[in-house]
Amino acid sequence: MIKIAIQKSGRLYEDSLRLLKDCGLSIEDGLDTLKAEVRNFNAEILFLRNSDIPQYLEDGVADVAILGENVLIEKGVNIEIVERLGFSKCRLSVAMPKGNEYDGPQSLEGLKIATSYPKTLQGFLDENGVTASIHLISGSVEIAPNIGLAHAICDLVSSGSTLFKNGLEEKQIILKSEAVLAVNKKSLVQFGDIINELSFRINAVLKARKNKYILFNVPNEKIAEASKILPVLKSPTVLPLIEEGWSSMHSVISDDDFWDVIARLKAIGAEGILVVPIEKMVV
């Protein structure tokens, strides 16, 4: 049985649980807040603090985990990332009070920078040959410049509204992060089959989320043109309609191409365009 760690509560919790459930794992909603059984998969779920997960992975308490890549990098553990999961996206950035000049990393020379990510920040400073003093704070980093504790901060940013509210400007992105599926390398040897099965299912769910199934009708003479518009997996399915001279075409399109493809199909005379979500996608 493998032990899968996810965040106990916080930004990653709901998306992590939903992903595992979409992969068909039937997770007991028991009273135990530390772990839950999975009825139909050879696994157990451990609910842990996101920031503690790297250590639990490294110690082999958990075999696999869903966690923020930023904490893996900060802890510097030797853990393998198997999948990037596309949620909880953020960046670790240096920010300074509005109006402060910033002409690159050298502008941080001699400054005091408050952060909860000292190792990642130190790595960035070293790479750029900058000497600055790092002030470790565990929460509410963004108030540090306003209370005179630091000249700059290095913290996670997603919408940017926390920086804005505190009169700070994002000056330098140090790291881009998202939720990842990470695995202890020893567990990969011991439980390779189960972990590969989990990774395969996650892949199928993520691909499905990024794509839509599209169906539409076109005059037969437009089939070739419509095929060129569709960025298809192989080639589109074409079925004759009862109405003489018309066909129905089916294909898969990515969310990124969606509006562009629809507009171009309409322009060549496609009608009755239906777009349907895909539950799982195995290619």
- Where do contacts with ligand PRT occur on this chain (CB under 6 A)? 7, 10-12, 49-51, 68, 70-71, 88, 90, 155-162, 177
Tokens coding 239: 């079925």
> Cβ closer to ligand PRT: 166 or 247?
166
| Dist CA 251 CA 238 (whole Å) | 9
Specify the DSSP element, H or E, that contains 201: helix 192-210
| Dist CA 65 CA 42 (whole Å) | 15
The distance of closest approach from Cβ of residue 199 to ligand PRT in the complex, given in angstroms and rounded to an integer, is: 20
224 φ/ψ angles, rounded to the nearest 5 degrees = -65, -40
The distance of closest approach from Cβ of residue 226 to ligand PRT in the complex, given in angstroms and rounded to an integer, is: 40
The distance of closest approach from Cβ of residue 274 to ligand PRT in the complex, given in angstroms and rounded to an integer, is: 35
Place of tokens 């596309």: 86
> Cβ closer to ligand PRT: 68 or 236?
68
The distance of closest approach from Cβ of residue 160 to ligand PRT in the complex, given in angstroms and rounded to an integer, is: 5
The distance of closest approach from Cβ of residue 183 to ligand PRT in the complex, given in angstroms and rounded to an integer, is: 18
Beta strands in the chain (DSSP E): 2-7, 35-37, 43-48, 64-68, 80-84, 90-97, 112-115, 133-136, 152-157, 168-177, 179-183, 211-219, 237-240, 246-254, 271-277
> Cβ closer to ligand PRT: 8 or 250?
8
The distance of closest approach from Cβ of residue 101 to ligand PRT in the complex, given in angstroms and rounded to an integer, is: 23
> Cβ closer to ligand PRT: 90 or 208?
90
> Cβ closer to ligand PRT: 47 or 213?
47
Count Cα atoms within 13 angstroms, Cβ side, for 193: 3
Position closest to ligand PRT via CB: 68
| Dist CA 265 CA 257 (whole Å) | 12
> Cβ closer to ligand PRT: 8 or 280?
8
Tokens coding 155: 């913290």
